[in-house]
Structures are given as C-alpha cells and as structure tokens.
Amino acid sequence: MIIGIPIYEKVDLLDVCAAREIFYSMATTEGVTTQYDIWLLGPTCDSVHSRDGLTLTPQKTFDDVPELDMIWVPGGDVSGLKVAMNDPCLLDYIVSATKNAKWITSVCEGAMILANTGLLDGYLATTHWAFIPCLQAYPNINVAEGFPRFVVDRDRVTGGGISSGLDEAFKLVELLESYEVAQAVQQLTQYYPCPPVASALTPSTSCPLD
C-alpha cells in the first residue's frame, strides 16, 4: 500500500513528520502483513524548507508515484499555503493520483489544498481552527461544528491544527489495520498526552488567507 505525503515550501514540520512516524511504526508492527511504502513527494526531488526552516527532501517525484492508496496532505505557513493552493502541478497530481485511493486525508490547513481540488465537495470536513472561516467559503463542503481533532466521512479524513494530526494518524492506523495495531503503536510511541497547560479555542471570524 502506497501512502504519499506531498511536501512544499513552508510546509508544517509536525504535519509531515509526526504522521510519517506513526505510519512507519504501523508498518513495522509485529503481525502487520501489508507492505506499506510511505513517500515524501514533490514535483522534483529538490529540497523544500519547512515553516521553521528545516530542510525536507522528497523521496520520490509525482511522476515516480502516479497512483496512491492514501494521500496525507499537510498544512503550512500562510505564504507557502497560498502558493500550494494555486499550484496546478500539485492540484492536478492530487486529483489524478487519488482516483482509486482508499483514503484521501489532510491535516491542518492541508484541507484548504484539498478544498481547491474539489475532493472535499459533499463531505464533512475540518481544518485548523483559525482557517475554519476559509473552509466555510467553499459552499459544497460541510464544515464540522466546533473544533474536532479529526473528522471521518466515508473515505475522507481531515484533521484540525498541527497536533491533531497525531490523533488523526492513530485513527488511520485503526482504519488501515486494527484497533489492536493502533494500541501497539500508541504504546511504542508512548502517546498518552497530558499537556501541562490548558487553554480554550475561540471561533475565528476572518480567514487568514484573505
């Protein structure tokens, strides 16, 4: 099974790396018989920089991997996101590569990229809390109320902001394999969150992309 993670300039590091580590842990869990290939993808293998300046290099080009079983679209800095949302090469690849995909997923502002492909039309979806007004501007997308960590609607899975991708990735492990495999990965990664701070989210009234 081929899982593709397209990366672009100013992509969010945790959106990419956290999910990839969870998926890799799933693939190497004892008893899992499905072979998983997990690739960072780009139009070329030229390096890009994450939002915080770290260098990421695609392992495969779009041409190398024309079909995906699952795509995970990460979010990114507003400046990079605006470019990615209007990049015909990226958008065309997402549409063509997922024609027979089992799962089409995004985390954080990656939902905005999927929104521009039309692949969220008719589906319930979410995104980073600050970008909810942006997603609501797409009349054919049903935006989930509140601030869910992730939303599953048939073969679409979308996540909230940054750290939400961890919860979403664990849900995808359950969907791809089983609850028991997800538990094993949880134990391996010691994912038992208990943050030392507490805050509350409040609705955003404007779209950061405007």
Cα dihedral sign, 64-67-70-72: positive
Contact 81, 73 (CB under 8 A): no
> What's 103's DSSP letter?
E
Q: Beta strands of 60-206 (E only): which ranges?
A: 60-61, 70-73, 103-106, 124-125, 142-143, 150-153, 156-159
Calpha distance 92→63 (Å, rounded) = 12
Cα–Cα distances in Å, from 46 out to 7, 55, 62, 172? 11, 10, 12, 29
Annotated active-site residue in 45, 108, 134, 194: 108
Cα–Cα distances in Å, from 86 out to 56, 163, 205? 21, 25, 23
- And the tokens for 119? 């692949």
- How many residues belong to the chain? 210
Contact 144, 126 (CB under 8 A): yes
Is 194 among the residues known to form the active site?
no
Annotated catalytic residues are 108
